[in-house]
Structure 1
């Protein structure tokens, strides 16, 4: 399944425009350029030297092959610019759509002190494959979801512990069909996500895991897939855990929360985004040890994320507020402030 990032607190859907299947012919304005992993680096010279700026218009192609070529050239230009200035390439370049006003956000990962590489799983070498019906349904869901996003019908019902469309009956019907076929093929789904050499198959299997009947085996498989070598597999697995955690607090308590702290320092934007989604859920109980671990191991990545575009930043702001022992009812209002100075001061950080 194409990387589709729905922010944890349900404010809107964001689509990675570097994914070739999510392309449409339209001009988009860049609303914000934000960095992560930048501690110890001066981002101003990088920002000034980029081949685009906030307010620039980006033309998105309607032909998939042209769109991929355009995106790759655009990304390479950013890499070349950053390498010329700091001697190292960025860890990631992500164009993300869309803000509430329909604009783009550009996130650039830098190899500063707030970046730590993650040790991912070794690539599997097995031959397990999913049934064609699941592959077909996955593609249909992708297309319907993309259409729903563009039509403003991307609301989601996570109450059962898996994602279902709230505003689009056709999409919801396909997701339920996907769930039913996944449950009929549970054994092969576990085999594919654990052993298939095909990353695309593993990514779809990771999504399918979220629709299986809830079990310890399901959680264990999703946790392992959350550190897959492939970005899309990780994205889908961590997202499935986040949806489970939001609907089933008892299931959330069985997840190894500390293990996911490392995602917050990743060089890949989707790791940080999905890590925030899950950690946001796992800190709802305000476990003192987890909050201490977050302060000691991920404070600066959280501070960086708190200064992103508001919709993407809310999870980080709430987590920081919980670390700072701000009352939950008050915290939600503070998390909406621009800039989030009250929360940053409470955690002892000056902008």
Structure 2
């Protein structure tokens, strides 16, 4: 809980610290409820005995968001934000549902282990931890190229990220297993192991704070490089030039990152990373650069060219998009370009 408060009051008001604060708070609540469960401590009104369940639904999404910000160096997408909806829904739903159906919260968490019963609340909790495991697995899968032995030996950031993911994933797995086999001792072991894991991480951060400060930039560089593993970038550049300069794929109005990557026989994220690393641009700017060059050629060659017609012939699907891209590349609007061309 103190770590959660500490993340919030830090002078750096970054998204990563806000997510860390959320994760720390949710984990603290899980610990408290398990402690209350083991001691047989219960509250009134009854729904308060189960408010750890909505918070459990935030753990996986929080870890995934942290991965997006620190490793992929991307903002949390709308899809990723939707991962938080179950937790938000249950936070509001529990007290409201209790007002209408108070007996629905009569079962106690300990009944699941001691009496062998199962309630809808137990199912929701197991579902939360299972969903979290899927998100942890997704993070591991997306960063699998980072955890090669040679990189683990050379990069402290890779070792820390592996420690964080394995620690969180293992604790959650043991927790799910404890519920599945109804073993209180295993539940206690998972809590104890998580506490030890958190203390080790905290002590290491005190001992080597510089490593944690460098983990973001370090891991972003390694992660980006790993996305192009196995890709012959020289050959890719040659084939890309052929498609754009000779076959003029940019003239297709509906050309997308997926369509172009399919032509190149690589994944969309690999083409995106290639354009970012090797060309210093993104897909939209890359394609629009060719389209604007085509438009400049037509405008300079054809007297009295219609601007809307030129936009469509260059691959743009609207005049507004054409005008914005043209000015972004040339510094002037198509109409100003025509005017200057006539004067010269």
- Provide the TM-score with structure 1 as the length reference: 0.21
> Which structure has more strand as a fraction of its residues?
1
Q: Which has the larger radius of gyration?
A: 2
Q: Say which structure is richer in helix.
A: 2
More RCO (CA 8 Å, sep 6+): 1
